[in-house]
Amino acid sequence: MKILVIGGGGREHALVWKLKQSSLVEKIWCAPGNGGIVEDAECVAVDSGDVAALVALAEKIAPDLTVVGPELPLVNGISDAFARRNWPIVGPTRQAAQLEGSKIFSKEFLLRHNIPTAKMYGAYSSSQDACAALQTVDWPLVIKADGLCGGKGVTLAPSEEAAREFLESVMEKHELGLGGQRVLLEETLEGEELSFILLTDGQRYAPMVPSRDHKRVFDGNKGPNTGGMGAYSSDDLLPAALRERVISTIVEPTLNGLATEGIPYQGFLYIGLMLTADGPKVLEFNCRLGDPEAQAIVARMDFDLAEVLADAAAIRLNPLRLRWKKGASVCVVLTSGGYPGKFETGKHIDGLTSIRDNIGVEVFQAGTRLETNSLVTSGGRVLGVTAAGPSLEEALTLAYRAAEKIHFDGIHYRKDIGAHSGRVKAAGD
């Protein structure tokens, strides 16, 4: 099998690493890839959001299967373009990807199908209307810009003043671009967050192991939101009774709702949950694997990912094939100093060779590039040190021991990945 993977972050490195282990796989390309993926796949410099360029690439290399990592190509319609040509691809159509591409679409979908979620106060296309509605809401208030905003589109406003400020920045100053043309106001939920991700071929589905990510930049969930500072997976995150409840009140109504609305969904579906005192409720949908959760999830896969993904693309997914390593896994993200604000790049990365043979540890690369044979930083999230072990404690020990051996100027990482953070009080924690 020849496979094209689209994307260039830690998630895509983890996917490429796992796909490469399959005896069915002969060749992997990655567009655009990064300084680490280049060791496992042929990287092609194509922008992952550019559907026309990706179609042209696929025309040339004729992959047997294409796997899409990030949301942008999906929201831009890559699966539709591939389906028209009968090219196998894992990822939902543009319409189905609206579950992530439009917060208002996804909220209205949840309400139509009586799936537990935060109460919606309203959806607005002018800041005047949204500001007028502030008189009728409870505080704190969650405000969501409707479209893709690179993780910056949600805020938890403690007061009317903070809400007005956010509304002005997204709806009048357009600081988040087109994503902020409409907004959704909703109730703030309290509880612990959990990522429930599944793979579906539109008829059958297979859940991934449960995971949780850490979005704030500093220990104790302090500081600004990031694309993800780390994640962990352990079966204890989702006891059997809770799992049953999530499946019967959320997963199956969602998949059935999509089917009854004539929106076939094929690919990974990420369901972000808040485990509230009233039971699990949906915070968000993503139309792809989360990152860094994907790195922790891949570390627990005990099956042939290439075979399973080819089956999903061909609508013959066999959920029994997905077997998982018992125990736990973690991913600790090493970032450039200053991230998610301003940071410098081009810093030399040392120490990777010293941990190359550490059993149970893989370092997935995200913001890296090769510069005359030396690896340097090229982004905010640089590396994902990922480890699996028989218990969460053992996985954490392996990952942190490896992380300590890696150096680059300004390196920063959280020391409390996997620690229970208590009740989550702020958006993005």
Footprint on residues 109-128 left by ligand AMP (CB under 6 A): 118
Centroid of chain to Cα 420: 20
**Distance in Å, CB of 429 to ligand AMP, minimum:** 6
Please select the residue that binds ligand AMP; options are 37, 75, 133, 142, rule is CB under 6 A. 142
293 or 429: CB nearest ligand AMP: 429
Question: Taking Cα atoms as reference points, which of 383, 362, 313, 401 lies closest to residue 18?
Answer: 362
How far apart, in Å, are the Cα atoms of 335 and each of 133, 181, 185, 224, 379? 39, 31, 32, 14, 8
**Distance in Å, CB of 150 to ligand AMP, minimum:** 10
Strands 222-234 and 211-218: antiparallel
Return the half-sphere exposure (C-beta side, CA atoms, 13 A cut-off) of residue 165.
8
Residue 22 touches ligand AMP, criterion: CB under 6 A: no
Burial of 227 (0-12, 13-18, 19+ CB in 10 A): buried
28 or 217: CB nearest ligand AMP: 217
Tokens of 117: 């979620």
Annotate each residue in 378-397 with x if it binds ligand AMP (CB under 6 A) or - if it does not, as one string: --------------------
**Distance in Å, CB of 284 to ligand AMP, minimum:** 3
**Distance in Å, CB of 217 to ligand AMP, minimum:** 14
184 or 308: CB nearest ligand AMP: 184
Which stretch, 19-27, 184-192, 250-258, 315-323, contacts ligand AMP (CB under 6 A)? 184-192
Strands 361-365 and 381-389: antiparallel
144 or 381: CB nearest ligand AMP: 144
Tokens of 61: 């290399």
**Distance in Å, CB of 109 to ligand AMP, minimum:** 13
**Distance in Å, CB of 184 to ligand AMP, minimum:** 9
**Please, which residues bridge with residue 46 across strands?**
none
Question: Taking Cα atoms as reference points, which of 105, 52, 108, 104 lies closest to residue 77?
Answer: 52
Footprint on residues 247-286 left by ligand AMP (CB under 6 A): 272, 283-284
Please select the residue that binds ligand AMP; options are 22, 95, 188, 365, rule is CB under 6 A. 188
DSSP classification of residue 412: B
Residues that contact ligand AMP, how many (by CB under 6 A): 16
199 or 283: CB nearest ligand AMP: 283
Cα distance between residue 330 and residue 402, in whole Å: 12
**Distance in Å, CB of 75 to ligand AMP, minimum:** 14
Strands 2-7 and 27-32: parallel
Tokens of 101: 């591409």
148 or 387: CB nearest ligand AMP: 148
16 or 72: CB nearest ligand AMP: 72
Annotate each residue in 148-167 with x if it binds ligand AMP (CB under 6 A) or - if it does not, as one string: -----xx-------------
3-state secondary structure of 174: coil
Cα distance between residue 170 and residue 112, in whole Å: 27
126 or 276: CB nearest ligand AMP: 276
Which stretch, 14-22, 80-88, 186-194, 397-405, contacts ligand AMP (CB under 6 A)? 186-194
3-state secondary structure of 196: strand
Omega prior to 140 cis, within 30 of 0: yes
Cα distance between residue 182 and residue 5, in whole Å: 32
Residue 427 touches ligand AMP, criterion: CB under 6 A: yes
- Where residue 361 falls (left for φ over 0; alpha for ψ -120 to 50; beta otherwise) is beta
Residue 212 touches ligand AMP, criterion: CB under 6 A: no
Residue 186 touches ligand AMP, criterion: CB under 6 A: yes
279 or 428: CB nearest ligand AMP: 428
**Distance in Å, CB of 187 to ligand AMP, minimum:** 6
Q: Which residue type does 180 have?
A: G
Please select the residue that binds ligand AMP; options are 11, 13, 94, 144, rule is CB under 6 A. 144
Angle at 69 between CA 221 and CA 419, to 5 degrees: 20
Strands 279-286 and 141-145: unpaired
Residue 368 touches ligand AMP, criterion: CB under 6 A: no
In this chain, which residue has its C-beta nearest to ligand AMP? 284
Strands 267-276 and 222-234: unpaired
Binding site for ligand AMP (CB under 6 A): 118, 142, 144, 153-154, 186-189, 193, 272, 283-284, 427-429
